Structure 1
Amino acid sequence: MMNSKVALLYVLIIMSGRLAQSLKPRRSISFSDVKLKLFKEPDFNGLSSLLVREDIGLLFIGARGKVITLRLDDIAEKTGEIEWRVTSGEKSACVLKGKSKEDCENYITTLHTLNDSRIFTCGTRAFKPLCTHLLFKGGKVSMETTTSEGRGRAPFDPHEDFVSLMNENTLYAAGSVDFMGRQAFLRTGRNYLYTEDKISWFNDPIMISINVAETSKSSENREDDNLFVFFTEIAVEERRSNLRLSRVARLCKGDLGGFVVSEKKWTSFLKARLDCPFGEKGSISLLQSVFLVNDENNVTESLFYATFTLSPPFNSTSSSCSQSAVCAYKLSDIQQVYRGNLLEEIISGGWVKDLGKESYTYPRSCINDEMRAKNVKTSLDIPDSTLVFAKNHPLMEGGVMPITGRPLLVQSTAQFSKIVVDKVTSLDGQHYNVMFISNNSGWLQKAVWSGDDGGRIIEELQLFQDPQPIRFLQLSSRSGQLYSATRTAVAQLSVRDCSRYTSCADCLTARDPYCGWDRLRGLCAAVAGASNLSMIQNLTDGDVGICPNSHLSKKIIDIHLTVDVAQFLPCSPDTNLPISWSFSGNILEPGPRHILLSQGLVLTPSFTDEGLYTCETVEVVKGRKHRMAVIRYHVKLTKERKEREVNGSQGTITYILASVCVLFGMIIIYACWKQKREKHVGSSSESYANTS
């Protein structure tokens, strides 16, 4: 019988093993073991924007009532702080309108670099957005005294999902445009445009991302550059009420609005459903974050990486709503959807496929050489009939599917939030897109996807000690630094840190595009700028056969056990890989005396169980099985118990042999007695016969 402590431990381990059913990261690193730099102050709260300035080596943080600057190479060092607060009168007026005192502060939500190196800065300012500029001179940051209207450039509500993008000194923004929270997509400046105030365009949207694609560089007919707006909204085309879907809208960057119809309005707005199929049937994937990876050789081959969480089916009690996924979309596939069929709204409120009575090229295509040849050089030259049609037909019939038809990876342990992607070049010159995905618990996951073996999570790191959503991710590819932020703290992490791989085998089987084994220094290091002569790397199958010969092995631990008393032999690898046990060189199979667990072995030994027990991690890469020893135990039985067992066994054997001998003797005696009796009976009968 195993004692109560071991039995309890056994039950707890079994329970913990059953809880983890989803795709696991190869390695998990807790907060105390992550090499990072933190910025946090006692009164620091309400972080609402983040800007990386590699040219001046500063990280700008927009927060409640101030802008803070930190050193880009070490954010623990604060270089400056500029206050920008509301007056008591502004706050009082805001509170009288029903807003809380906290929300009536000035939250700096917009930080963008202009061509002249100034920083365009806007804040909510007690629900009356205002903008100004930050200047950097002589190593110091200052704020201009002049201000401008912030409506449409910053949100009114500090809690609102508001996104903006600065491109060629032009600001594009998606979010609220008034105190009541009316939503729109705007271009501010000289060519000011905004979306139609129609439910068919935006229906209670949550804005996610804005991107510019220079499609004219790869277009055969010099089609105008594209703008993409990602959001979720209540679907107008679905009969089911309050069904929220993910969308991507495409607009033409050169859109100038209409001459009479749609004056100061976007004329090229089209939107389509964005699909990322995962979870049980009927589940809806909701967009959380988007990151564009440009293809410098062909813009149309550029990829949008996006994170999704799951909205469960109607009336479902399934736990699948905790699942998250990453899907990727090719720009050319998105463009193709906009060349398809449009939906038309009918009187009853439903939406049906447009029968093609009006087969306009615009806005399915932005202005191109074919249109220019017909003297249609801008949207101001588009006929009114076309503009009216475009205004009433913003919705595409088709949806955008991911490049693989399914997610790159799916996980159910935490909800994904933000994503950034780094383009990494390996030692052999191949290119890899490494994904960094944050979640709502303060963790970051590093993942890679390839067509050969699908998606895999190389590692996950706990960036913040207290569980909290990561709201911002910014990557400096030049320095290899990743900056993440919650509402109360900022963390800096080197994406090229390879020190967690402690051996050549571990370094290579991890297949981390950033890392390789340095044969001269005998350690795992970043491959960026390294020579192929001293560094080895194998991202194809992680073959460790190219590793230098090593005589290092895991130390053998002597352990003395007692016969028939259960003992737990722990095995805790620094990875999340499954483990395997061997006994004296042979794979150990589960049995009554050997209970194999995910974190160790429960051994109830007999005197035949003495020997060497080895725990190994098992990793299969493209059919190749890699085993690495974690710990070894040399199990011995205590001497007196063993002698007692041996003596007892010998006594038992003697007793059995004696019993057999006695039994055998009794059988012989009985056989002899029976034979004599049969002879005696036979002579008596014969005599009786003769007498008669």
Structure 2
Amino acid sequence: GCIAACVTPYRSVPFQNVNGNLFQEPTFGDLSSLTLREDIDRLILGAGEQILTLSSKNVTKKTGQVSWESSADEKSFCQTKGKSREKCKNFITATYTLKSGKMLVCGTNAFSPSCDYMTVTDETISLDGNQMSVKGTIPFDPSDRFASLMNDDTLFSATSANFLGTEMTEMKQSLLSEPNMISVNLVEASKDSDNGEDDQVFLFFTEKAVEEQPADLLVSRVARVCKSDLGGKKILQKKWSSFIKARLDCPFGDSSALVQDVFLLKSQTNWKDSIFYATFTSNPQHSGASSHSAVCAYRLSDVNDVFAGRFLAETRTGGWVPYTGAVPSPRPGSCINDETRAAGFSSSLDLPDDYTTFVINHPLMEGVVTPIGGKPLLVQSSRKFSKIVVDQVTSPKGEQHQMLLIGTESGWLQKAVKLDGEEGRIVEELQLFEDPLPVDFLQLSTTGQLYGGTSNAVVQVDVRDCSRYTSCDDCILARDPYCGWDRMEGKCASAAGTSSWFQSLTDGDTSLCPTPDVTKEPEVVVLIKDRAQFLPCHPDTNLPTSWRFADDILHPGPRLTPISQGLIITPSSSDAGLYTCETLQDIGGRMHRRTVIQYLVQVQDTCNLAPVQETSTPVVPVQDASTPVVLVQDASTPVVPDTCNLAPVQETSTPGSPGSGDQHPGGPGSGQQDPGPGSGQQDPGKDPEGGTDHPGGLYRLGADLHFTHVPPLEEQKPG
């Protein structure tokens, strides 16, 4: 079951229908880092023993490649230490841009981490060839997660094994307990500061909760250090002396969801108003917990309020309680500013021993960092979230909306938004990769180009692409902040700011949409009296559907069974008439109905049909999945059934994304898109409805089907 309010995407776009550019090569694999450089229009890829550059305007164009292999001796020594041959090579796990324009590239180098400088030009890339050992900065193991950033040519790196250095193990254990590093972010508090504030570095990670029982329970954390922290003079030498940490809560399902990725949306006016957006997944340690994912948002000011609160102290029995004793001055964890400089502390090296000793013994805060609104922006049960980036979209009216661009473990991208006064919703989801591989990297350019990376491929999509909304109603009802209807151009387009462009994000008001010039005629179909037959309905969205007969809502009955893919009908003579399949969308308590397809049904008494006009749609029986597949002929010439010699249709499901465990009902793989010939239309997971209850078996209707002659119906067993 779904906890909280699980969200179904408005539309799901399978891989073959995604507008984008894809980079793949037979020799390209083990993608370990992805860096966007808009200043030179390049995407820098660090992979297994090679570095590549692609054009950021079109990633199918490779602009440079250079190899960086570990030496034979390094590989051999690595294997003698018990490491696998696959891991004993150089995985390029980090690429950083320096102020000079050069790059620093780093790799695992067969468990002997090294960095080198690299020059990137329009057509080539080249390494300097002066490798530097950087143990403790880059992980030894390519599968270890780490977090890092480059600022002012200073590298801030957090690795699981060596975040605080390799010495003084007992001190490291008191500050961190087997951490898994997720993200590191710099907040430039010094900008526009009136008290000489230092910049702050925020680290997000998971670790074992020393304050919880059982002690091996994993929890999410956020920690803070000061950018100019040089460590202590005697204690914590060359280590963070300002390190403090707090529990990070995203409440859904259980109390210890695990953070997977973090994006800092920086405020352009006041750094204190910046917001952290984070993806979380359920903690597998909780027995019986269903698997969910969520996005939570945190105000930077709320995080700092927790760091200004009470510390926890460990008791002799191993418990943790609020610390009530005297707190040294300057306050542990605080950064150097004008006030501390006036007191004689111009750097962390000047801080007294009781400051650094206190940090060692009390790194954990009592307060818990809770999300804005006290709950997630979004919860999903069918996709496992991995990466996130956030784009701030400004409407022509000056309204700002945050678009959440979320990568999943099965290769999908979800575009989500939360407007004031409503729950978060997923505008659409795109299948980025043909195989169900995790989205390991996401980067967004200032022009709306999104780059997603998995182990063996990189994809580029335009998040502002509005071409999938083919009508004004569709464009407005999708309520996509990127898109609106351009009345002059007669199409859905990204925000133009002209008087002819409009959108309605709150209400989905389509009253300004033009009336279609041509109304689509209903499909004329001939059904056989007292036989179970099927009218398919395939909306291009994941919205629920409803049926009307004439102008009345159609309710299920002995002769009428609406299912997810259409309507099973066993008609009597009085059932002839107009049937309409509609999607239903509730926006602010107002129900919006959109017609998907209409059928003008005629009912015949017997199986001996009069010749049907070519415009009408023949009826075909659907047989049980155990029925052998019957090959059908090509339908290049119209075939009109006139004696009920109708072809059985094979009963297979629509191919969706591989790895169906990561699908939601009504999404890709569940038959929402038009499945084409021979895909069967029964309700997924059920026996063919009416197969034994209705005489003559179940009939499938569809203009996309092909026909061949098989034995007459009276010679067949009922479906």
Give the TM bin, normalised by the shorter chain. Answer: 0.7 to 0.9
- Specify the code of the residue in structure 2 equivalent to 1:370: E
Equivalent in the alignment of 1:512: 480
Letter of the structure 1 residue corresponding to residue 582 of structure 2: E
Does the Cα contact within 8 Å between 1:618 and 1:626 map onto a contact in 2?
yes
Q: 1:445 aligns with which of 414, 427, 432?
A: 414
1:50-65 correspondence runs (5 A): 50-65=34-49
Deviates more, 1:362-371 or 1:94-103: 362-371
Q: What SS class does the counterpart of residue 284 from structure 1 fall into?
A: coil
3-state DSSP of counterpart to 2:595: strand
Shift of 1:371: 2.2
**1:36 aligned partner:** 20
Give SS of 1:304's match: strand
* Matched ranges for 1:656-667 at <5 A: none
Supply the AA of the counterpart residue of 2:377: L
When structure 1 is superposed on structure 2, of 454-463 and 208-217 the one drifting more is 208-217
* Partner Cα distance (2:56, 2:118) in 1: 17
**Shift, 1:400, TM fit:** 0.2
Q: Using a 3 Å threshold, how does the CA distance of structure 1 residues 494 and 474 change in structure 2: closer, same or farther? A: same
The correspondence for 1:594, drawn from 536, 552, 560, is 560
Deviates more, 1:511-520 or 1:60-69: 511-520
Would you say 1:306 and 2:274 are equivalent positions? no
Q: Structure 1, unaligned stretches of length 5 or more?
A: 1-16, 177-181, 187-191, 644-692
Residue 418 of structure 2 aligns to a residue whose secondary structure is strand
Give the alignment partner of residue 100 of structure 2, picking from 111, 116, 139. Answer: 116
> Which is further off, 285-294 or 342-351?
342-351
> Are 1:350 and 2:329 counterparts?
no
Where 1:633 maps in the other structure, the secondary structure is strand
Q: Could you tell me whether the CA contact under 8 Å between 1:121 and 1:134 is conserved in 2?
A: yes
- Asked if 1:259 corresponds to 2:233, the answer is yes
Q: CA shift at 1:388, angstroms?
A: 1.1
One-letter code of the match for 1:307? Answer: T
Aligned to 1:82: 66
Distance 1:197 1:156 in 2: 21
Tell me how far apart the structure 2 counterparts of residues 184 and 143 of structure 1 sit (CA, whole Å).
27
1:622 aligns with 2:571: no
> Which of 429, 438, 445 in structure 2 is aligned with 1:476?
445
What's the CA shift string for 1:301-360, capped at 9, x where partnerless?
11100000001564x324x1x110000000000000001110111222222111133354
Which string of whole-angstrom CA distances, capped at 9 and with x for unpartnered residues, describes residues 512-564 of structure 1? 1111111122111111xx23223112222110011123233333101111121
Report the alpha carbon displacement of residue 363 of structure 1 after superposing the two structures with TM. Answer: 2.3
Q: Does 1:184 align with 2:160?
A: no
AA at the equivalent of 2:567: L
SS in structure 1 opposite 2:497? Answer: coil
Distance across 2 between alignment mates of 1:485 and 1:141: 21
- Give the whole-Å Cα distance in 2 for the aligned partners of 1:403 and 1:195: 37
Query: Offset of 1:38 from its aligned partner?
Result: 0.9
Change (3 A) 1:195 1:32: farther
Determine the structure 2 residue equivalent to 1:7.
Answer: none
CA deviation map 1:473-527 (0-9, x unaligned): 11112x2111111111111111111111010011011111111111122111111
Structure 2 unaligned residues grouped into runs of 5+ = 610-719
Between structure 1 and structure 2, the one with the greater Rg is 1
SS of 1:544's partner is coil
Q: Which amino acid aligns with 1:536?
A: F
SS at match of 2:158: strand
Cα offsets for 1:632-690 (capped at 9, x unmatched): 000111165899xxxxxxxxxxxxxxxxxxxxxxxxxxxxxxxxxxxxxxxxxxxxxxx
1:544 maps to 2:510: yes
Tell me whether 1:71 sits opposite 2:55 in the alignment.
yes
Offset from partner CA, 1:60-114 (integer Å, 9 cap, x none):
1100111011111111111111001112121111111111111111110110100
SS in 2 for 1:261: coil
Report the equivalent of 1:317: 288
Distance 1:196 1:111, change over 3 A: farther
Contact 1:286 1:311 in 2 (8 A): yes
Match in the other structure for 1:568? 534
Question: Which residue of 377, 386, 409 maps to 1:408?
Answer: 377
Percent identity among equivalent residues?
Answer: 51
Tell me which residue corresponds to 2:191: 217
1-side partners of 2:374 and 2:164: how far apart?
A: 29
Structure-to-structure mapping, 1:666-685, within 5 angstroms: none
* Root mean square deviation of aligned Cα: 2.2
* Counterparts of residues 344-493 of structure 1 (less than 5 Å): 344-358=313-327, 360-477=329-446, 479-493=447-461
d(CA) in 2 for partners of 1:234, 1:193: 21
Distance 1:587 1:174 in 2: 60
Offset of residue 200 of structure 1: 2.3
CA distance in 2, matches of 1:203, 1:389: 18
Larger mean CA deviation between 594-603 and 396-405 belongs to 594-603
Distance 1:474 1:52 in 2: 7
Q: Aligned pair in 2 of structure 1 residues 532, 185: CA closer, same or farther (>3 Å)?
A: farther
The change in CA–CA distance for 1:594 and 1:198 in structure 2 (over 3 A counts) is same
**Residue 452 of structure 1, CA deviation:** 1.4
* Correspondent of 1:295 among 253, 267, 287: 267
Q: Could you report, residue by residue, the CA deviation over 1:164-223 in whole angstroms, capped at 9, with x for unpaired residues? A: 1001110000115xxxxx33157xxxxx99998422211111000000111233655443
CA distance in 1, matches of 2:500, 2:605: 52
Instruction: Give 2:467's aligned residue.
Output: 499
Report SS of the residue matched to 1:421: strand
Closer/same/farther in 2, CA of residues 197 and 385 from structure 1, 3 Å limit: closer
C-alpha separation in 2, matches of 1:205 and 1:299: 28
Deviations 1:13-42 (A, max 9, x none): xxxx99xx9421000000111111111111
- Give, in whole Å, the separation in 2 of the partners of 1:313 and 1:156: 27
Shift of 1:155: 1.4
Residue 678 of structure 2: aligned partner: none
Residue 526 of structure 1 is matched in structure 2 by 494
Change (3 A) 1:194 1:57: farther
CA contact (8 A) 1:607 1:642 kept: no
Given the alignment of the two structures, is residue 166 of structure 1 paired with residue 134 of structure 2, yes or no?
no
* 1:200 counterpart SS class: helix
Q: Is the 8 A contact 2:33 2:47 kept in 1?
A: yes
Contact 1:337 1:398 in 2 (8 A): yes
Instruction: Give the structure-2-normalised TM-score.
Output: 0.81
Corresponding residue for 1:663? none
Partners of 1:194 and 1:504 lie apart in 2 by: 65
Distance 1:160 1:433 in 2: 31
Structure 2: how far apart are the matches of 1:360 and 1:596?
Answer: 71
SS of the aligned residue for 1:122 comes to strand
2:136–2:162 CA contact under 8 A, matched in 1: no
Question: In the alignment, is the contact (CA less than 8 A) between 1:70 and 1:79 conserved in 2?
Answer: yes
Secondary structure of the residue aligned to 2:117 is strand
How many angstroms apart in 2 are the aligned matches of 1:629 and 1:353? 61
| Conservation of the 8 A alpha-carbon contact between 1:123 and 1:150 | no
- Give, in whole Å, the separation in 2 of the partners of 1:401 and 1:218: 27
- Residues 197 and 586 from structure 1, CA distance in 2 versus in 1: closer, same or farther, beyond 3 angstroms? same
Conserved? CA contact 1:183–1:205, under 8 Å: no
Q: Deviations over 1:409-442 (max 9, x none)?
A: 0001021101111111112121111011111111
